[in-house]
Structure 1
Amino acid sequence: MPAISPRTRLATVSALTALGAFASLGTATAAEPALNGEWAPFTRCPVDAPAMLAADGFDRTPQCVVSTSSSGSIKLGKTTVVTGKTNLQLGVVQKADGTSTVVAPASGALVADSATVPGGLLGLMCPSDIPVITSICKTLDDSTLNRITATMESVGAPYAFDQTAGVLTDMPIVALPVRIHLENPLLGSKCYIGTAANPVLLRPENRNYPEFGMSFYRGDGTADEAGEMSRINLTGATQNDSVFSVPAATGCGLNVGLINAAVNAKTGLPSSSGNNSLTLNDTRTHLTGLNAPGTVAPDAGKVLARNWHSAVR
């Protein structure tokens, strides 16, 4: 296999980040630091994670990745939910053999606006011929009881990452096992679509080529064409997966499982491949790393971390 340059590695890995938005429809996060200049988007890069710090810059090259999307949608069976802004941040350790290891922040890789299920409980399970569900439906004039929010959560490590597919179109880039948490006072706290043992498995693909840009900067984030850091910017791509299947909802109802049948019947779950779809619009991906990590080997990971911390304002 021919050698792959660090900059090519940066470009190919970068498309992975747009996928992260698929893995969250609504997530909270702690306050993030403000970073200077070109470092600004990378507020949650896990530069201090052991795998990142151990990257030597020769066999293992450390990089920071962030990807955002302004909007999107997900269709599960008969239900479509419009998503808001999403943000994924990761560390990536690129290996000399062309494979890579993804490192998530300790607090989680994904942050996103909350998504509201259209129609709430009324739309999700009413009307119903199940007596207990009929009784619940009569109480749902109260908007607080009716409203449902959806949060998509990772339930396993991503795998099957294809570096080449990341910059091409119509090829699966990575496999992402997730579950969807449906939250409402009457659904209880354990209502999920998908589980760790039987997840929703997303394999998103680029539908168009992103626009490419590149910038250079000093370790503290100050723009400088002769700087030791580089940043790749990929913008405007749409990502989609329309071949995943969706398992039935479980754990729904204050008496756990009581409402499962109603939710599944109205939503059309389980739903086989071809009946579901996920789309992210206008993805914007940034990937950064040392221009010449080999020149600071075996301390590339430590240098990257030092630079990130020097940019914190």
Structure 2
Amino acid sequence: MSTLSPVPATSGAPVAPSGSRRSRRLRTAAATLGAGSLIAALGAAPASAASAPTGPYAGMGTCPLSSASLQDSNNGAVGCVVAVVNGGSFTIGSHVVTIPASSPITTTFGVYWPNNGPTVSFPDGNSSEIFSTVAPTDGKELTAAPLDVPIPGISNFWPGVTSAITQIELAGPITNFAPLAAGESYPVFKLPIKLHLENAFLGPNCYVGSNSAPIVLQPTTGTTNPPPPNKPITGDPGTINFGNDPNGFGDAIVGFTGATLVDNALSTPGASGCGPFGTFNWIVNLLFGLPSAAGNNTVTFSGVNTTLAVDSDINDLTSAITASEK
């Protein structure tokens, strides 16, 4: 596992080949990362709905294959992604919010990489394309069950009164998806979120983070480089599996199972909209130690299972997913 410092991504990095050469490069990179049998990835792949594809395409029924971005003829690669976070925690100062295995977080989206698009190169010689993302057709780029978060200093015997029911929500699109950064000390994606706190006294519009001032997560499976007092911590890329479409189409399928993603360089803004006209913002800030500067917060996503189906031809990828539904 790499223990490198983050390397900035630039569009001036070495240009990646397009078309079939680009697909071969993805295959080579996946193999370099330790890819083996795809069986484990397929077994862990989530199903989103009864009509969704099965097998390696499970959960990809809402992939935006017909979107203008994925249909662009200038693309060197297009794909569909499903990722499920099966556990972990948020640490804001000394307060810990646990993500139980019974409340997974699921993200689904389409990805595209233009010919000669941005890449990032790593000191160990590996590199990754940096994909742009497109929201799924149902608009549910992130889904998560509400969490029952105890209020510090109060015995939690009445959920929603002695605790805050907390919903993790997107505060903007997922960006900078770099799947082959797995094992490197570089963010796998950039995820802006906000925490919606619901409590009998806080009202319906109490948030930590917002669309204009989100909590920005940039988790890595490598080693972090946080400001003090936090110290570097290391994630785990898990098991990386690689295969091809079972029906003979040309797309590559990469599965990452059991990964751990970490970020302890993020900051957390103060509360807003809590109580009438925000009159209880100060109470939430006091109880949870907000705002909390970078170096005092940590996010860990554990048991992360991700499936990526990628092709140089959108028609080929569409045919593969369509065939899987039959």
Short-chain TM bin? 0.7 to 0.9
Indicate whether 1:271 and 2:299 are aligned: no
Q: Measure how far apart 1:59 and its partner are.
A: 3.6
- 183-192 vs 260-269, which deviates more? 183-192
Q: Determine the structure 1 residue equivalent to 2:69.
A: 51
Q: Measure how far apart 1:269 and its partner are.
A: 0.5
Please give the TM-score of this superposition, normalised by the length of structure 1. 0.73
Q: Determine the structure 2 residue equivalent to 1:68.
A: 84
Indicate whether 1:182 and 2:201 are aligned: no
Separation (CA, whole Å) in 1 of partners of 2:179 and 2:250: 26
Counterpart among 101, 110, 114 of residue 132 in structure 2: 101
The number of residue pairs the alignment matches comes to 263
Please give the TM-score of this superposition, normalised by the length of structure 2. 0.71
Separation (CA, whole Å) in 1 of partners of 2:166 and 2:25: 37
Counterpart among 201, 207, 219 of residue 192 in structure 1: 207
Separation (CA, whole Å) in 2 of partners of 1:68 and 1:141: 30
The 3-state SS of whatever aligns with 2:322 is: helix
User: Per-residue displacement from partner, 1:230-284 (whole Å, max 9, x unpaired)?
Assistant: 311122221010011111111111x131221111111100111111110011211
Q: Measure how far apart 1:310 and its partner are.
A: 3.9
Structural mapping, 1:86-235, within 5 Å: 86-99=105-118, 100-106=131-137, 107-117=139-149, 119=150, 123-124=151-152, 142-159=158-175, 161=176, 163=178, 166-206=181-221, 207-217=235-245, 223-224=246-247, 226-235=248-257
Separation (CA, whole Å) in 2 of partners of 1:144 and 1:97: 51
Q: Measure how far apart 1:187 and its partner are.
A: 1.4
Separation (CA, whole Å) in 2 of partners of 1:59 and 1:141: 54
Separation (CA, whole Å) in 2 of partners of 1:79 and 1:62: 40
Q: Measure how far apart 1:89 and its partner are.
A: 1.1
Counterpart among 248, 254, 260 of residue 238 in structure 1: 260
Residues 301/258 of structure 1: CA separation in 2 closer, same or farther (3 Å cut):
same
Separation (CA, whole Å) in 2 of partners of 1:197 and 1:98: 28
Indicate whether 1:35 and 2:56 are aligned: no
**Partners of 1:210 and 1:237 within 8 A in 2:** yes
Residues 33/270 of structure 1: CA separation in 2 closer, same or farther (3 Å cut):
same
The 3-state SS of whatever aligns with 2:116 is: coil
User: Per-residue displacement from partner, 1:138-186 (whole Å, max 9, x unpaired)?
Assistant: xx96545334221222222344x27487233322343332211111232
Residues 8/67 of structure 1: CA separation in 2 closer, same or farther (3 Å cut):
farther
Whichever structure has more helix as a proportion of its residues is 1
Separation (CA, whole Å) in 1 of partners of 2:309 and 2:295: 36
Residues 250/144 of structure 1: CA separation in 2 closer, same or farther (3 Å cut):
closer
Q: Determine the structure 2 residue equivalent to 1:23.
A: none
Q: Which has the larger radius of gyration?
A: 1
Indicate whether 1:3 and 2:39 are aligned: no
Residues 303/141 of structure 1: CA separation in 2 closer, same or farther (3 Å cut):
closer
Q: Which structure would you say has the larger RCO, counting Cα contacts within 8 Å and 6 or more residues apart? A: 1
The 3-state SS of whatever aligns with 1:215 is: strand
Indicate whether 1:259 and 2:280 are aligned: yes
Separation (CA, whole Å) in 1 of partners of 2:91 and 2:187: 19
Counterpart among 232, 247, 272 of residue 250 in structure 1: 272
- Please, what is the CA RMSD of the aligned residues? 2.9
Residues 162/114 of structure 1: CA separation in 2 closer, same or farther (3 Å cut):
closer
Q: Determine the structure 2 residue equivalent to 1:311.
A: 324
Separation (CA, whole Å) in 2 of partners of 1:143 and 1:282: 27
**Partners of 1:150 and 1:180 within 8 A in 2:** yes
The 3-state SS of whatever aligns with 2:254 is: strand
The 3-state SS of whatever aligns with 2:204 is: coil
Residues 59/263 of structure 1: CA separation in 2 closer, same or farther (3 Å cut):
closer
